[in-house]
């Protein structure tokens, strides 16, 4: 199948490579030329605009930073809707505000384009090995049509409801991840201050009720002070902003989410925005001076 793919960043490039490995033809576009060159080496064809991608493909995937980027790519000048044929399916795998997904889906419907919002969780490592968790919203019949394609990029693919439900599920996921990293950082600082080796603590508790996928992935990074981004703090700030905005609009109080947002904003101000979100641990280190959790 010929698939359009727009957005070739940390996540998009490995997702494209997995689709190519499965034998699909990819027409790719990104605003950064080097990103297009990277997927071209893997076998993708490149285009000059989202409109050009849409003119060649009946299935298009977008993987972009935030709501304004998706709106521009889909609804803007030289956007997907300028070139898409009726019956085209758009899968937006970006993590954006659910209400924006619904707005974009309405514009798509007016052009005869069907849309799913299908954000992912798992970061770059799982994008590379094709084991992402994918949360999809939209018509079930459309979801069923593209499920086989989605399974080439993820091992958990769940239909969550109507358009916007996928991004609502992703926001819930991101709240849990951020709070989990903060809780881990706080607990491991307690251990370090009390004289317990954090490596010993990790071995002692990871198999119990406190253990989690987040702990297993992020504690080794914290202990090694390896903050090479699999998922950047600045991107987590974006997701938490969307969660807080959505919470305000639907009447859901998110006091813990608001607290972790302040931690993330402090880290951004300290120049850590491009680091992995495991660097939330640095917020706690900042509170106590020179102590390092290691």
Name all domains of the chain by residue range, CATH numbers in brackets: 2-162 (3.40.50.720), 168-288 (1.10.1040.10)
pLDDT of residue 290: 59
* CA dihedral over 54, 57, 58, 63, signed as positive or negative: negative
Catalytic residue among 114, 126, 170, 238: 170
* Three-state DSSP class for residue 26: strand
CB neighbours of 235 closer than 8 A, spacing ≥ 6?
A: 65, 95, 277
pLDDT of residue 289: 79
pLDDT of residue 294: 60
Listed as ranges, residues in the chain with pLDDT below 50 are none
Closest CA to 121 of 135, 136, 105, 107: 135
What DSSP element (H or E) covers 252? none
Is 206 in the active site? no
pLDDT of residue 292: 66
Supply the mean pLDDT for the chain.
96
Report pLDDT digits (tens) over 118-155. Answer: 999 988 889 999 999 999 999 999 999 999 999 999 99
Token pair 């807080």 is found at 244
Report DSSP letters for 74-105, one per residue: HHSTT-HHHHPPTT-EEEE-S---HHHHHHHH
pLDDT of residue 33: 97
pTM, two decimal places: 0.90
Q: Where are the alpha helices (DSSP H) in 8-122?
A: 12-21, 33-42, 50-56, 67-75, 80-83, 98-110
pLDDT of residue 293: 63
CB neighbours of 259 closer than 8 A, spacing ≥ 6?
A: none
pLDDT of residue 128: 96
């Amino acid at each position: 199948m010929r698939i359009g793919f727009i957005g070739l960043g940390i996540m998009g490039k490995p997702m494209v490579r997995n689709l190519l490995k499965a034998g699909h033809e990819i027409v790719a576009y990104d605003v950064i030329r080097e990103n297009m060159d990277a997927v071209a080496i893997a076998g993708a064809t490149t285009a000059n605009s989202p409109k050009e991608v849409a003119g060649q493909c009946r299935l298009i995937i977008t993987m972009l930073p935030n709501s304004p980027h998706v709106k521009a790519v889909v609804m803007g000048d030289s956007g997907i809707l300028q070139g898409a044929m009726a019956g085209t399916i758009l899968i937006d795998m970006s993590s954006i505000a659910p209400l924006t997904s619904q707005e974009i889906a309405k514009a798509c419907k007016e052009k005869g384009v069907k849309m799913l919002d299908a954000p992912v969780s798992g970061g770059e490592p799982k994008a590379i090995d094709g084991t992402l968790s994918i949360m999809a919203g939209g018509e079930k019949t459309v979801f069923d049509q593209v499920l086989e394609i989605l399974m080439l990029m993820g091992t958990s693919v769940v239909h969550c409801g109507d358009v916007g439900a996928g991004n609502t599920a992703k926001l819930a996921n991101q709240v849990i991840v951020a709070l989990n990293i903060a809780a881990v950082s706080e607990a491991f600082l307690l251990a370090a201050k009390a004289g317990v080796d954090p490596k010993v603590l990790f071995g002692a508790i990871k198999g119990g009720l406190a253990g989690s996928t987040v702990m297993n992935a992020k504690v080794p990074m914290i202990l090694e002070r390896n903050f090479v981004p699999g998922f950047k703090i600045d991107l987590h700030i974006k997701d938490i902003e969307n969660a807080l905005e959505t919470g305000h609009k639907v009447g859901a109080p998110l006091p813990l989410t608001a607290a972790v947002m302040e931690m993330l904003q402090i880290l951004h101000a300290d120049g850590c925005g491009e680091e992995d979100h495991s660097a939330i641990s640095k917020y706690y280190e900042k509170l106590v001076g020179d102590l390092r959790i290691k």
